[in-house]
Structure 1
Amino acid sequence: MSWANKKTFKRILVANRGEIACRVIRTARKMGLETVAVYSDADNNAVHTRLADRSVYIGAAAPQESYLNISGILSAAKACSVDMIHPGYGFLSENSEFAKACADNGIQFIGPPPKAISEMGSKSRAKLIMAEAEVPLVPGYHGNDQSDPCLIKAAETIGFPLLIKAVSGGGGKGMRIVDSADELESAIASARRESLKAFGDDQLLLEAYLPTPRHVEVQIFFDQQGQGVYLFDRDCSLQRRYQKVIEEAPAPGLSDELRTAMGKAALEAGKAIGYEGAGTVEFLLNGEDFYFMEINTRLQVEHPVTERITGVDLVEWQIRVAAGESLPLKQSELGCHGHAMEARVYAEDPANNFLPSAGRIACLEWPEQDGFVRIDSGVQQGDLVSSWYDPMLAKVIVWGENRSKAIDTLTQSLSSSYQAGVTDNRDYLIFLLSLRDFRNGAIDTSLAEQNVHQLTLLQKRKLLVVAALYQYRIKSHEAPTGNFSSFVTASPFFFYHQEQELSVSVEKKDQLYFLTFADGACKAKASWQQEPVGLSGRLSIEGEIAQCRVIPMPGQKIKVFLPDCSLELGLPGYQQQANERKADSLSAPMNGTVTTIAVKQGQSVVAGETLLTMEAMKMEHMVKAPRDGLIADVFFKAGDQVTLGTPLMAYQDEAHVAT
């Protein structure tokens, strides 16, 4: 008899979407629970809706009308007679009102009590509680007086640099680093605006900014009987724009004494708020000193690395604890085995300040999963990546006997992952894994920000070689019988990248290809294999062997892959898109919503001045004046939706027309 049949709990609704909804559904079904998915207009026919036993429509694409709509989700739950609701992470997962509403409607919320969520949801309240529990804190201001004069005075006392954080924040939203008093007032206003948009709360706190700490967190678990354990630690120091990109467990380089001290402090933090279920206590680690940051009262995105080193299914534990069971294991029974890493593959453009990328996925292939590699994803080939939600495409999770083997396995897994259709951060992740400091364990929260990934000239040349040989192969198969040589060598192959036209001439003699560029030449050999989409190949470029992949894309484009890099290229007939705009254009840098307009028609502006702000995929972006000038037209107002490349404003000496 299954676990579910022994309990009164038989049906669970997952109040989320994407990869976390898929992940929860799989464990719930393994336990014998019936599953219910919910979806918005943007997620019709999404993967998570097909995995569940039943799916229910809950509203429009805007999160406020669907995944953040408490009454809508509860209506779906009652219509399906569910016994439990799992909130996943993000959306309503740390909303105490939602947890209370579940209880009021006789539905078991899979998470901590509303009081614990409420107290930890306020970073200022959390820090007061932790101070009483004698958990170490970073110096700062956590008071109720939120007036500008009070915050400015507190900042002067703390000193610069300092960190502004949203009291209800998470994921880097509502967070700003302030280096001097001159920046403080505008940073406060911006952080308030972003926090209000993301969390419905514009209260802030201030902390002394530690430039190069490590971000180390401890996974805790408490049952309803008050028993608690910690499942070791994770290092989440590799971040960009305050968003984690690579996480690992256990945190490297910690002494046994330090690891134990952090684990015990995390348990004390949980006890101080009467915690139940899965939680994460986040610390800043500065040398041998650690400071409490916050408790995330939910499952973390990076929870799989803890699962891989402990052998524990954390979602199963969540469900069991919510059903009233005691913790399955005691602290002395928990072990830490090997090393695990997770890389977050995002639809974003690292070359353009990591702005989110929306569009349709033309091709998507992940490495085969086994005992060493796991892929958590909620998207599939053909899906439309919406600007409404978080841009994560997947989490690539690996395990190795030691840290070095885990890094190698993760690098290989990412190298054999192929996505075409939207810009992603695959190459950036591979680059981070190759950094000497990272491989040596010399990591802190500034490492990813300080190392900007750009294609080298050698990588660009190799990618162009692959593209040219691919086109030669394609054209040779199109050649009329008996006219092969003249057909494929009559003219160079042309490619387009960043408004540049690139030409490559290819001539084949026996099994050797001779390629000529505008600034040089090389020799290569190639063997190709047909794939479901495009071709894979084994190339020898001047004697250097490389595996490659080429994927054709809509709009006369191809995406070319090598193990450590990739490049999207236009082909003849390719029309320059609006996103390939001139440097001084006042165009939308992404699909999204205009949130504020900072200037008026006829106003003079100076280079670098903020003109408006946009929000997409839960991140705020400021559009700044590229040069001095007079604003002749403002084409949109706050609340308007705009698409990538759409003119937003026009200088007096321009002739833009809104489209």
Structure 2
Amino acid sequence: MFRKVLIANRGEIACRIARTARRLGIATVAVFSDADAFASHVEMADEAWRLGEAPARDSYLSIDKVIDVARRSGAEAVHPGYGFLAESAAFAESCARAGLVFIGPSPGSMRMVGDKAAAKRLMNEIGVPSLPGFHGDAQDARVFARVARDIGYPVVVKASAGGGGRGMRVVQAEDELRDAMESAAREAKAAFGDGRLLLEKFVDRPRHVEIQFFRDRSRNVVTFAERDCSLQRRRQKVIEESPGPRISQEVRAALREATTRIAHAADYLGAGTAEFLLDRDTFHFLEVNARLQVEHPVTEMIAGVDLVEWQFRVAYGESLPKRQDEIVCRGWAIEARVCAEDATQGFRPSSGVITHLRLPSERAGLRLEVGVREGDAVSSHYDSLLAKIVVWNEERDGAIRLLARALDEVELVGVASNLDFLRALLCNDAFLAGRADTGVAQIVSDAFQSIVPEDEMLLLAAAVTGWRERESASAAGDDPLSPWAVPDAWRLYGRAAQKIAFRYEGRLLECDIAPIDAHRFEMTTGRGVSVVAAKRAGDRLALFVDDRRREVGLAPSASGWVVIVDGHNHFLEWVETLTPPPSPAALERPFTAPLPARVAKVLVKRGDHIEKGAALILLEAMKMEIPINAPHEGVIKDVYCGEGQSVREGEELLAWRSTHDIA
């Protein structure tokens, strides 16, 4: 077995690879950018080497730098994880020239199936059905338009060199095609270092299923039970399960047989995944991911195998650990991807510092794959994936219940997350019935509200407790025995009541509080008087409001407190009761960068009249393009940014005025 392996990736997948390597006695070398100097994967490895500055092109996508570190560290092999260089034939060739084993398929196989255009041509040769489209070398919009007219709209343009929904755009009509190609190519270039595109017929609301396969040097092939990855937002997976519900045995057998043909035709080595679109009982080849998939843990859970260990063994020259007849898949596994993104803003990526993080404890049937910790900064330079929660149960219904419970135990403050959206997906009727297709997540998204109703008395009591703790700590300074440390509002002639107010979801929550002692106070609202008792235990707060006890999470924010109830975040902003409310003009939000990003394209200029919803600027962050759209009609007064410029979070991008202000 290998003595030392370099992991050419970051985040949760780098941590996951390191765990298996440690179990096998393999030393690991981590690589990191300046943004990841103190990241989890760096601390987990036996040694770590700096690659360069934060942008991926200067660090994780730099083949020369990664190879140089592998040589200097004495690594024998390189595991690319997924993303970045995992499907780069050029990187695999560079590893071979440097005398390093690339833990993945050969460059020739990768070009044959990892490149989507080449893979489509191979499918035609071996008789695996695929969608009509254009998979040639030309990248001219006129060529794409001619093919699109022949096969009929809608069509989809997508990155030829990568997956994960990056560099993919659905085009409904010819006048949208050129802009879609430009946008997809930019995103593909940022994510994979390759902006080449292909075009194919768009299938509305199919199911998305895939087959995990392995092949060794002795031409042995095994396939595993299918994974259903139909729940997707922005054509990127968020919940995956295995096996797929409501799939006939005939279709299952046909999918696995087609996958076996693909593995042999490509002379494949190692782990790969064949993806298909399933429309009732008819399937079409979609792509091969010539690497490990993000969702591989669900296969591991039902099959009882470690696919990373299999990768190590096959790359080292060993035979597959099991034959096809020894692969037994049992029970049901489901994975949810926790991402730093705002589901209420079109899944806009979020960056910042994780100020509070609480995860469920691993237990029977529950597995965590995590790449961040409390206090970590989530960078705008990389993918938004933070963690994966994977569950297993004998029955699908049981697995869904386990996952729902686990998601309710997750608490995350500091960056926006998709946790509430994941919870909403698990309640969708089509998903519960096993009938979800690729359109279900969009339906849930269209109706999604991030706020889950909660007892405002509970939220107010928790926020007041946080305010009292902060006031006490501020008054006491470094002396916990100071009489000022007790927030009892002591006066010479009795205790005084204080008026406290918080803004919550556009409403003002007000109360008068009269301290009883250090842990109890009376809270008077329009509902009457309640006695509140609070007891801290780390990041947990046990609250007694009259006769009811509830346990909540309580985390400070920049302007108030975040009260976390059953995993749901409720933001309460403290309001200074003596300060007059701001004017409506002061509350108007300027066009600012929602996160640190690179300006990909400026679509307007000074003097332009803009319509409501019009795209004004395209930003590039977390491997995707983020449009800044006009909330209503107006006129551009000035533009403060240029294409290629890096902007900070909150930096003003342009000035405008509403048409209501124009005489």
TM-score norm. by structure 1 comes to 0.90
Determine if contact 1:556/1:573 at 8 Å carries over to the other structure: no
What secondary structure is seen at the aligned counterpart in 1 of 2:592? coil
Aligned pair 1:503/2:515, yes or no? no
Q: 2:488 aligns to what?
A: 480
Partners of 1:565 and 1:274 in 2: how far apart? 49
Answering whether residue 242 of structure 2 is matched by residue 249 of structure 1, we say yes
The alpha-carbon deviation at position 73 of structure 1 amounts to 0.9
Bigger drift between 389-398 and 627-636 goes to 627-636
Classify 1:332/1:621 alpha carbon distance in 2 versus 1 (closer, same or farther; 3 Å).
same
Where do 1:434-449 residues align within 5 Å?
434-449=427-442
Shift in Å, 1:40: 0.9
Residues 160 and 180 of structure 1 are in contact (CA less than 8 Å); yes or no, is this contact kept in structure 2? yes
Partner of 1:14: 7
Displacement of 1:149 in angstroms is 1.7
Give the 5 Å matches for 1:212-361.
212-361=205-354
Contact preservation (8 Å) 1:539, 1:546: yes
The equivalent of 2:170 in structure 1 is 177
Name the counterpart of 1:563.
566
Contact 1:19 1:377 in 2 (8 A): yes
> How far off its partner does 1:499 sit?
6.0
The yes-or-no answer on 1:589 pairing with 2:594 is yes
- 1:534: Cα distance to partner? 4.7
Q: Which runs of 5+ in 2 are unaligned?
A: 470-485
Secondary structure class of the residue paired with 1:280: strand
Question: Higher mean Cα deviation, 622-631 or 36-45?
Answer: 622-631
Q: 1:79 to 1:329 in 2, by over 3 A?
A: same
Report how many aligned residue pairs link the two structures: 636
1:527 offset after TM fit, Å? Answer: 6.6
- Among 538, 553, 556, the alignment partner of 1:553 is 556
Which residue is equivalent to 2:636? 631
**Equivalents in 2 of 1:114, 1:368: separation in Å?**
41
Separation (CA, whole Å) in 2 of partners of 1:526 and 1:214: 51
Map Cα deviations across residues 128-160 of structure 1 (whole Å, 9 max, x no partner).
101111111112222333322221121111112
Matched with 2:575 is 572
Would the aligned equivalents of 1:215 and 1:236 in 2 still touch at CA under 8 Å?
Answer: yes
Which residue identity lines up with residue 28 of structure 2 in the other structure?
T
Contact 2:209 2:275 in 1 (8 A): yes
Structure-1 residue corresponding to 2:181: 188
Distance 1:323 1:590 in 2: 43
Match of 1:86 in 2: 79
- Report the CA distance shift for 1:129/1:555 in structure 2 as closer, same or farther (over 3 A): same
**Residue 476 (structure 2) aligns with:** none
2:37 to 31, 39, 44: 44
Task: Tell which deviates more after alignment, 614-623 or 638-647.
Answer: 638-647
Residues 307 and 508 of structure 1: is their aligned pair in 2 closer, same or farther, counting only changes over 3 Å? Answer: same
Q: 1:480: Cα distance to partner?
A: 2.3
1:485–1:367 distance in 2 versus 1, CA, 3 Å: farther
1:502-543: CA deviations, max 9, x gaps? 43567899x9987746xxx48988775523225245779xx9
Corresponding residue to 2:154 among 135, 153, 161 = 161
For residues 586 and 185 of structure 2, what CA distance do their matches in structure 1 show? 31
Indicate the larger mover: 475-484 or 331-340: 475-484
**Per-residue deviation, 1:37:** 0.8
1:65 has 2:70 as partner: no
Specify the SS of the correspondent of 1:27. helix
Q: Secondary structure at the match of 2:122?
A: helix
Structure 2 residue corresponding to 1:610, chosen from 612, 615, 621: 615
CA pair 116-538 structure 1, distance change in 2 beyond 3 A:
farther
> Is this contact kept in 1: 2:501–2:576, CA < 8 A?
no
Query: Which amino acid in the other structure matches residue 440 of structure 1?
Result: A
| In the alignment, structure 1 residue 419 sits paired with structure 2 residue 422 | no
Provide, for residues 247-267 of structure 1, a one-character-per-residue CA deviation record: whole Å limited to 9, x for no partner. Answer: 111111112221111111111
Partner of residue 535, structure 1: 541
For residues 241 and 276 of structure 1, the distance between their equivalents in structure 2, rounded to whole angstroms, comes to 31
- How far apart, in 1, do the equivalents of 2:264 and 2:545 lie? 59
Matched, 1:621 2:626: yes
Q: Distance in 1 between matches of 2:342 and 2:224?
A: 34
Distance 1:573 1:601 in 2: 39
Q: Measure, in 2, the Cα distance between the counterparts of 1:380 and 1:409.
A: 23
Deviation at 1:566, TM superposition (A): 2.2
- In the alignment, the residues of structure 2 paired with residue 479 and residue 640 of structure 1 have an alpha-carbon distance, to the nearest angstrom, of 50
Write the distance in 1 (CA, Å) between the matches of 2:134 and 2:563.
50
Structure 1's 564 and 534: CA in aligned 2 closer, same or farther, altered over 3 A?
closer
The separation in 2 between residues aligned to 1:89 and 1:567, in whole angstroms, is: 35
Letter in 2 for 1:262: L
One of 380, 383, 390 as aligned partner of 1:390: 383
Alignment equivalent of 1:494, drawn from 472, 485, 501? 501
Q: Deviations over 1:590-624 (max 9, x none)?
A: 32111112233344444433322101100101223
Once the 2 structures are TM-superposed, how far is the Cα of residue 486 of structure 1 from its aligned partner? 8.2
- Contact persistence 1:534–1:552 (CA under 8 A): no
Alpha carbons of structure 1 residues 369 and 135: separation in structure 2 relative to 1, 3 Å: same
- Distance across 2 between alignment mates of 1:227 and 1:515: 73
Matched, 1:642 2:650: no
Q: Is the contact made by 1:592 and 1:616 (CA closer than 8 Å) also made in structure 2?
A: yes
Match of 2:481 in 1: none
- Residue 598 (structure 1) aligns with: 603
Cα distance in 2 for partners of 1:414, 1:582 equals 34
Secondary structure in 1 matching 2:591: coil
TM normalised by structure 2 equals 0.89
One-letter code of the match for 2:501? Answer: F
| Compared CA separation, residues 158 and 539, structure 1 to 2 (3 A) | farther
Say what the alpha-carbon RMSD is for the aligned residues.
Answer: 3.0
Q: 1:584 to 1:84 in 2, by over 3 A?
A: same
Equivalent-residue separation in structure 2 for 1:60 and 1:551 (angstroms): 35
Greater alpha carbon shift after TM alignment, 408-417 vs 115-124? 115-124
* Secondary structure of the structure 2 residue equivalent to 1:428: helix
Which residue of structure 1 lines up, in the alignment, with residue 459 of structure 2? 467
Quick one: which amino acid aligns to residue 575 of structure 2? P
In 2: Cα distance, 1:233 partner to 1:449 partner: 23
In structure 1, what is the equivalent of residue 477 of structure 2?
Answer: none
Percent of matched pairs sharing the same residue: 39
Report if the CA contact (8 A) 1:148-1:185 is conserved.
yes
Q: Deviations over 1:68-116 (max 9, x none)?
A: 1111111111111111110011111111111111111111110000111
- Cα distance in 1, alignment partners of residues 146 and 9 from structure 2: 41
Amino acid paired to 2:539: V
Inter-partner Cα distance in structure 1 for 2:419 and 2:310: 32
Amino acid paired to 2:649: L
**Residues 626-657 of structure 1, C-alpha deviations (whole Å, 9 max, x = no match):** 44444232111122222333211112679xxx
Give the 3 Å change call, closer, same or farther, for CA 351–507 of structure 1 in structure 2: farther
The answer (yes or no) to whether the contact 1:494–1:572 under 8 Å persists in 2 is yes
Q: Give how far 1:232 is off.
A: 1.3
Deviates more, 1:642-651 or 1:397-406: 642-651
Partners of 1:532 and 1:50 in 2: CA distance: 25
Q: State how far apart, in whole Å, the 2-side matches of 1:526 and 1:397 are.
A: 38
Cα distance in structure 1, aligned partners of 2:48 and 2:467: 47
